[in-house]
Structure 1
C-alpha cells in the first residue's frame, strides 16, 4: 500500500473511532445501569464474573487479572464470602497455602440474573430498530469482536 493510502486509512479510522467511542460508552453505561444494585457492588460483580470464568483462581491472580491491589481484592472477597457468593476451594495439592476461589450457586445465580437482565434490555432496544438497522448491527458483530484481540 502506498503512503497516501495508509494516511487515508488512519484518518478514516480516527473519524470512525471518534464516532464509535461515545456510542459504545453510552451503551456500556446503560447496560450497567440495567443491573445496578443486584445486591453487590459493580466491583464485586466484576470479581464474581472472573471467578465464574476461572474457578479456582487465587486472590493474587485475580488482583493481577483485574489490575487491582491484593488488599483491595481481599476485602471484597471476604465480604463476598460472608454473603455466600464465593467460597474457598480445597487447597492446591502443589501449594497447600493456596486456596482458589469458586462461585457458589448463589453467586452464579446473581451473575446469571444480571446477564439475563442485560440481554433482555438489549433485545427490547434492538426490537425497536428497523430490520435494516438490526442487519447492520449483526454485520458489525464480527469486526467489533476483533478489536482488542
Structure 2
C-alpha cells in the first residue's frame, strides 16, 4: 500500500512538535543546565547498556564516532558520565552513567511522563485508543528506519 503523499511530513511534524513542547516544559523542572538532545540520547544508551564503548554507542545512535567522543567528553566534564579503560582492550573505553545522571534522568522521566499523562487525559477516549493502537506501528517504523541507516 502506498501511503498518502504528505503522511511522512505530517508524522515528522507531529513527532518533532511533541518532543519540542515536552522538552521545553520539562526543562524548567529538571535541575542543572539543559542538555542537548544528543547528550540525553547518549545517556539513555549508556544507562541501558552499562559498559558500552564509544564505537558501539555511536553505532546505536547512528552517529560518527568522533561526534560521540565529543559528547562523552562533555558529559564526563559535567559529571554525568564516567569513562573507564576497558580491561580487555586498553585503547578502548567503557562508559557508565554517574549517580548524578541517574538522579537527573529519573527527575526528567517523571516530569515528562507526568506532563504527557496529564495531556492524554484531556483527549477523548477515541483519540487515546487511536494513539495506543498506533504505537506498535510506530515502533516498526522506527525499526525500519534503523535498518536502513
Q: Normalising by structure 2, report the TM-score.
A: 0.76
SS in 2 for 1:102: strand
* CA gap 1:72/1:139 in 2 versus in 1, 3 angstroms: closer
Unaligned residue ranges in structure 1 (runs of 5+): 1-8
Distance 2:19 2:43 in 1: 18
> 1:15 deviation in Å?
4.6
2:147 matched to which residue of 1? none
- For residues 91-112 of structure 1, the C-alpha deviation after alignment (integer angstroms, 9 at most, x for no partner) is 3332123220100111112122
- More off after superposition, 116-125 vs 23-32: 23-32
Is the counterpart of residue 22 in structure 1 residue 17 in structure 2?
no
Distance 1:142 1:70 in 2: 31
- More off after superposition, 91-100 vs 67-76: 67-76
The higher radius of gyration belongs to 1
Distance 1:67 1:144 in 2: 19
2:22 matched to which residue of 1? 31
Unaligned residue ranges in structure 2 (runs of 5+): 144-149
- For residues 130-149 of structure 1, the C-alpha deviation after alignment (integer angstroms, 9 at most, x for no partner) is 12221222222222222132
Q: Normalising by structure 1, report the TM-score.
A: 0.76
RMSD value, Cα: 2.4
Distance 1:15 1:71 in 2: 35
Counting matched residue pairs gives 139
Runs (4 or more) in structure 1 with deviation over 4 Å come to: none
SS in 2 for 1:96: strand
Distance 1:19 1:64 in 2: 28
Is the counterpart of residue 53 in structure 1 residue 48 in structure 2?
yes
* CA gap 1:119/1:139 in 2 versus in 1, 3 angstroms: same
Distance 2:51 2:4 in 1: 40
- More off after superposition, 39-48 vs 95-104: 39-48
Distance 2:124 2:80 in 1: 41
Is the counterpart of residue 119 in structure 1 residue 140 in structure 2?
no
Distance 2:88 2:123 in 1: 54
